[in-house]
Each structure stands twice: as C-alpha cells, then as structure tokens.
Amino acid sequence: MSRPATLSVPLVLTLLLAAAPAAPAAPAPRPSAAEPVLVVAPVVPVGAPVELVGGFPGAGEGRRVVVQHRRGGDWSAVARTRTSSGGVFEVSLEESEQRVHRYRAVVRRSADGPRARTRPVVTRVAPRVEEITAGLVDSDAYGHHAGLDVSADGRFVSFDSRGDGTDVFVWDRTRQRLALISPRTSEQTWGGSLSADGAVAAVSTYNSTIRPDQPGRTDYPFQGLVDLRAGLFAPRVTEDGRVVEGLDLQLSDDATRLLATSPRGGFALTQLVRDRTWWIPDRASDDRAEQPVLAAGGRHVAWVQGEQDPVTSQRRGRLMLWEQGSGRRELEVPGRTTLTPIGLSSDGGLVLVMAPRPGSEGPAEVTDLLLVSTDTGLVRELTADLPRGARGGVLADDGTLVHVGTEEGALVYDTATGTRVPVSPAPPFLDELDTGSGDGSVLVHVDGPTITTYMPVLP
C-alpha cells in the first residue's frame, strides 16, 4: 500500500483539472461520433438483478445486441436483445455468484456492416451489509475512523484513520481494494471528500518541515487534491507560492469547486480552474458562521449563523443559504433556535436539518429531522411523531428521498409524496446514520474502528 507521489508546486492543478482552452489557430475539427456505452451499478446486492443499460448511437431501432460476460480470458454470450429508438437497450441478468463481473455489448451498425462494441463495465455482486474495515481493526496503525465520504454512485468510501497518526484511505467496494491517499510528505492528513466518480479527493494535510522562511509557510493544515487514478497529490497554492490553508474540505461532484473552513474562522468556496474565491459569511474571519454544507452541484452552501439573543443572552442559530449569483439569505425555521444542516440537494432546493425538539434538554433531549424548502420556505417535520426522534439522516442529491436513522429502525422518506416507510431488511446499526451516497443507494455507519456499508431496498 503506497502513498501517492507529491507534485511540485507549479503543477498544482494541471494534472487534476483542465485549464481554460486557448484560442485555436485553425477551425476545430468536427466532433467524432458518440461512442457506444454500457452502464451498470458498481455494486449489486445478492438476490437483486444486474441491470445493464446501454446505447449504440446511430445503430437505429431493431438491431440485435449480444451482451457478453467475461469468464477467465474468454467472452461468452449471456443475453440477447434488440435496440429501441436511438439505439438504446436494456438487459436484466440474474447473478448469484458473489464476485466481480465484467460485461460488454456487441452490435452490428447495419445488417452487413462491422461490429461495434462497448467498453467493458465492472460490477460486483455482494451482500447488502459489508464491514469494509474487517481485517484492519486489530492493527494499531488504523484505530478509530472519521471524516467519512462516499462517491455519488456508492462505489468508493473515504475515511480518516486515527491510530498512530492520521491518514486518509479510500476503499473501492467493487474491486475490494484499499488505497492510502495521504501524500508521502505528510505527517497528518484529514478529509477525503470525493468527486462523484471517486477519481479526485480533497484533503487537508500538515507537514511541520515547512519552515516559516519558506514561501509555503503555514502553521495550519493546507489544502490539496489527490488524483486517485494517477496516484498524484497537488497542494493548492497562491500565485506567489504560498500554500492555501483550510480544514473540513468539501468537493463538488465535478471536482471544480472546493469549500474550505479557515482555521481563523469563516469559510470560502473556490472555483478551482479559474481560482475565483467567494467568502460565504459577511467577513472572512467570521467565527459565528458554522457547520457549512456544500451542495453536490457546487453553487449552493447552507450553514448556521450563530448570534446572541439580546433578550435572553442565549446563543441561537439562524439557518442561512448562499447561492452563486444571488448571495446570502436567511431561511426561517419557526420554533427552532439550535440548528445543524446535514444535507443539501444538488440544486439547492432542499436543506436537511437536525434540531433539538422544543422542551427536551439534557440527557432526555430528543433530536428531530426537518426538511426546509429554499424556494417556498415550507418546513416539513420528518420525525415529530416519533417519541425518540431521529439519529442522523441522509438526503439524496436529487432531493427525492431522505434516509432516516431512528431507534425504532431505519426509515425512508419520499419527499414527493410525504410518505415514510421502514427500510427492510434493516440491520441493527441503521438506528444511526453517518453518511450515504448521492444516489441514496449506499448508507454508511461508523462505530469506533468499524465502518459498515448497507444497500437498502428503495421504495
């Protein structure tokens, strides 16, 4: 297990994010025809069908498609179907063998023309419940875990490991591989916020050998990006060569925007390619701005603005929303003075909030989940009728559903219909939820040294 190499400062983002293209010297060539494509979920639970969806642009309707499965070194046909309008096709397969499966699809573009093939796709048939830290928990090098994140499709899980030191690892749920992504020059690394496809991770890292007389001087952890496919690390630096400080990093799905909290207070959103930064609170060092959440789309941030009540002298929080192009505004949450935003839909339309139930405090405090519409201002109480409230929740990126952890068992709330149904089957650990994939297909819970994933049956 090797650490990624560290890039020199001038190469900061060139290997991770494409710079703005220069003006072409000659007319651009015509775009090439769209390639055939085949899509499958990265992990399929045992007993569920393997759903393959693909397309052959230009193939037309009614062309015969052969879906092939690789066993050993040979490809063999496992299904046949025909294209519908636009060359699209779908296939459902039953796979009981718990292992990695590789598929591709083949079609003739015309009755007597050459064959076209899709690139192979990979999935793994696995149990619904998996302990991804099995085999690591007895080692002093790993210890307890924090800083969880999951790629949008649920394939990759990143986590901090706080044993002898702090390092960041990424687990590939399809290939069953663990990768250490902390840069080799790092003494401690935190974070591991993942892009949608799991190809890029944002981390905060610290190295005491950076001297005060060097241009890269810092007394705090600094920001960096890791290209997980190439195994390369690039620190974020300013034009004059200073590293950019920051903690609690959150990366947008397309890895073009990064939200970071300053060690001195406040937080900022940076558009990485153009190096444009927005300070979200009123001032850069505002220590009253807390618990920011970045939407997967990268254009919205929700947070709590703390302030002292002039009448009671007690601290209270206001739920705030920032939208690129529109600025900041407050979201009213009647009857709640202590709030924690824990989810924000990709388009910024819904905010998932945890808040103590009015009248409950101390050891008997009950926490509820609330769903706030940023368009209409409507506040929906998701757990007000549950005596013991909620213990965590996960909002899907598209805002269609909320996974709710409760002591009575896990629930799924449909935001369109307002219905709430129990998760079935539900393992005992789902009484408390820590995070989940953007599509809602994978839930993750951490308990000390143990990280467990679960693929729920969605309604």
Rounded mean pLDDT of 200-227?
80
Q: For residues 410 and 421, give the distance between their C-alpha atoms in angstroms, rounded to a whole number.
A: 9
Q: For residues 124 and 132, give the distance between their C-alpha atoms in angstroms, rounded to a whole number.
A: 14
Residue 2 has pLDDT above 70, yes or no: no
Residue 31 has pLDDT above 60, yes or no: no
Q: β-strands 367-373, 115-117: how paired?
A: unpaired
pLDDT at position 428 is 67
CB 266 within 8 A of CB 281: yes
Tens-place pLDDT, residues 277-323:
888 876 655 668 889 999 999 999 999 988 766 666 667 788 999 99
pLDDT at position 17 is 38
Mean pLDDT for the chain overall: 84
pLDDT at position 213 is 62
Confidence of residue 16 (pLDDT cuts 50, 70, 90): very low
Tens-place pLDDT, residues 151-170:
999 999 998 876 666 889 99
* 179-190 b/e (C-beta count within 10 Å ≥ 16 → b): bbbbbeebebbb
pLDDT at position 209 is 72
Residue 228 has pLDDT above 80, yes or no: yes
Rounded mean pLDDT of 228-247?
87
- Pick from 81-95, 102-116, 367-381: least confident: 102-116
The pTM of this model reads 0.86
Is residue 114 domain-resident?
A: yes
Q: For residues 63 and 124, give the distance between their C-alpha atoms in angstroms, rounded to a whole number.
A: 29
Can you give 108-125 as a three-state secondary structure string?
Answer: ECCCCCCEEECCCEEEEE
Q: What are phi and psi of 197, to 5 degrees?
A: -95, 5
CB 191 within 8 A of CB 202: yes
Rounded mean pLDDT of 219-236?
89
- Pick from 107-116, 167-176, 444-453: least confident: 107-116
Residue 211 has pLDDT above 70, yes or no: no
User: What are the structure tokens assigned to 22, written together?
Assistant: 């220069």
pLDDT at position 263 is 80
Q: For residues 386 and 153, give the distance between their C-alpha atoms in angstroms, rounded to a whole number.
A: 31
Give how many domains the chain has, as a whole number: 1
Residue 19 has pLDDT above 50, yes or no: no
Residue 144 has pLDDT above 70, yes or no: no
Is residue 73 domain-resident?
A: yes
pLDDT at position 378 is 95
pLDDT at position 136 is 58
Is residue 258 domain-resident?
A: no
Rounded mean pLDDT of 435-440?
90
Between 212 and 52, the higher pLDDT residue: 52
Cα angle 361-366-368, degrees, rounded to a multiple of 5: 130
Residue 323: partners with Cβ closer than 8 Å, 6 or more residues away: 299, 300, 348
Residue 15 has pLDDT above 60, yes or no: no
Confidence of residue 265 (pLDDT cuts 50, 70, 90): confident
Q: Could you tell me which of 51, 98, 55, 56 has the C-alpha nearest to residue 79?
A: 51
Is residue 95 domain-resident?
A: yes
pLDDT at position 217 is 63
CB 285 within 8 A of CB 227: no
For residue 378, the SS3 value is coil
User: What are the structure tokens assigned to 167, written together?
Assistant: 């390092």
Is residue 191 domain-resident?
A: no
* Residue with tokens 């002898």, as numbered in its chain: 164
Strands (E), 366-433: 367-373, 379-381, 393-395, 401-404, 411-414, 420-422
Question: Starting at the edge strand that comes first in sequence, how are the strands of the sheet with 340-344 ordered?
Answer: 340-344, 350-356, 367-373, 379-381
Residue 245 has pLDDT above 80, yes or no: yes
Is residue 313 domain-resident?
A: no
* Residue with tokens 């060359």, as numbered in its chain: 87
Confidence of residue 429 (pLDDT cuts 50, 70, 90): low
Q: For residues 88 and 37, give the distance between their C-alpha atoms in angstroms, rounded to a whole number.
A: 9
Confidence of residue 143 (pLDDT cuts 50, 70, 90): low
DSSP β-bridge partners for residue 161: 145, 167
Confidence of residue 333 (pLDDT cuts 50, 70, 90): very high
Residue 15: partners with Cβ closer than 8 Å, 6 or more residues away: 7, 227, 230, 232, 234
Domain residue limits at 52: 37-118
Half-sphere exposure of 98 (CA within 13 A, CB side): 9
In DSSP notation, 302-329 reads EEEEEEE-TTT--EEEEEEEEETTTEEE
- CATH at 83: 2.60.40.2470
Tens-place pLDDT, residues 348-380:
999 999 999 988 878 888 999 999 999 999 999
Residue 416 has pLDDT above 50, yes or no: yes
Is residue 62 domain-resident?
A: yes
